[in-house]
Amino acid sequence: MKKVAVSIGDINGIGLEIALKAHEEISRLCEPLYCVDEKVLHQGAKLLHPKGTSHVSIPDGFACKPLNLDVNIEAGCVTRESGAYSYASFLEAIKLCESGECDALVTLPIHKEAWMKAGLKYKGHTDMLRDYFKRDAIMMLGCEKLYVPLFTEHIPLREVALHVREEKLIPFLLDLHKSIGDKRVAVLGLNPHAGDNGAIGDEEREIEKAILHVNKTLGKELFFGPIVPDVAFAPYFRNTVQYICAMYHDQGLAPLKALYFEESINVSLNLPIVRTSVDHGTAFDIAYKNKAHTLSYINAVKAAIELTQPNINP
């Protein structure tokens, strides 16, 4: 049975509740090792069933990798302490995978503002992984029905067009191919109507040149586009392809989450370790109210286990 390191996420959000609720099912799939201190675990369990009547409690076999940090849960609050704690949990989980003690890493949601308050320079998990491993990690979200790799991620929208250049797209598409294998990938245009042959913008020319170059390099017609963004997620199109590459965050994730929000996951590609994550945030508004859903987390664990198998691509 595979051993999976679980980064607990922001302790003021729903991550700990999800881990507790799903533990029994997760334990049938793998050996989870949760990067969290027992003190924090007991605080969370008490918040979830203050009168001892809730179905959420600490399950048997809930193994913890202690961080030895003194912190208290402040449910639903953005704090420097919770940001620093979620980062420490994430870093510990990475090291468990690097050392070979664990086979894969699954992350529960962090809060970007809390990381900023903690003085961290990263916008999120993928940024940190990219810097840590000195590799161009690719963020891809989705489920078996549809995966959406992102060319750009957590940058201001006004900067996206500056990145849509042939010389940047070529290595990205080649790394994507290396990660997922010979899968057909629809590449979205940036502008409405995919630019209408330059009438609404010329970034699509850069995308087209990159696609031609990559297909020629691979000797296969695997990438196609630029595809008009507003039709790519319609049933008649998305049912013909499993991968749709978006130029920026909301272009791909808004329709993806409208279609498959509870079941989709986040996968980090092009890294020396296997890392998957839930496809949602900390949900501070429902923290410790016994309302959090576990499906995305369970799917993330299943995907992580599958990706540890040789020659398996998402």
Q: Say if residues 87 and 119 touch (Cβ distance below 8 Å).
A: no
Q: Quick one: pLDDT at residue 193?
A: 93
- CA 250/CA 259 separation, integer angstroms: 14
Structural domains counted in the chain: 2
Q: Quick one: pLDDT at residue 239?
A: 87
pLDDT in tens, 25-42: 999 999 999 999 999 999
pLDDT in tens, 169-223: 999 999 999 999 999 999 999 999 988 888 899 999 999 999 999 999 999 999 9
φ/ψ region of 201 (left if φ > 0, alpha if ψ in -120 to 50, else beta) reads: left
Do residue 190 and residue 310 come from a single domain? no
Do residue 289 and residue 161 come from a single domain? no
Q: Quick one: pLDDT at residue 312?
A: 59
Do residue 261 and residue 291 come from a single domain? no
Do residue 275 and residue 264 come from a single domain? no
Do residue 15 and residue 28 come from a single domain? yes
Do residue 129 and residue 276 come from a single domain? yes
The CATH number linked to 103 is 3.40.718.10
Count of C-beta atoms within a 10 Å radius of residue 213: 17
Token pair listed for 275: 């890392």
**What's the pTM value of the predicted model, to 2 decimals?**
0.88
Do residue 264 and residue 167 come from a single domain? yes
pLDDT in tens, 47-69: 988 765 555 678 888 999 999 99
269, 286, 302: which is the final residue of a domain?
269
Q: Say if residues 56 and 21 touch (Cβ distance below 8 Å).
A: yes
Which residue range forms the structural domain that includes residue 179? Answer: 137-269
Token pair listed for 204: 């699509």
pLDDT in tens, 132-158: 999 999 999 999 899 999 999 989 999
Residue 127 carries which side chain, given as an amino acid letter?
D
Do residue 41 and residue 27 come from a single domain? yes
Phi, psi of 111 (to 5 degrees): -115, 125
pLDDT at residue 267 tops 60: yes
Q: What percent of the chain has pLDDT over 70?
A: 96
pLDDT at residue 310 tops 80: no
Do residue 131 and residue 276 come from a single domain? yes
Q: Quick one: pLDDT at residue 236?
A: 87
Q: Say if residues 90 and 81 touch (Cβ distance below 8 Å).
A: no
Do residue 208 and residue 221 come from a single domain? yes
Q: Quick one: pLDDT at residue 117?
A: 97
pLDDT at residue 121 tops 70: yes
- CA 7/CA 86 separation, integer angstroms: 7
Better-scored residue on pLDDT, 154 or 76: 76
Do residue 51 and residue 165 come from a single domain? no
Do residue 79 and residue 182 come from a single domain? no
DSSP 8-class letter at 228: P
Burial of 188 (0-12, 13-18, 19+ CB in 10 A): buried
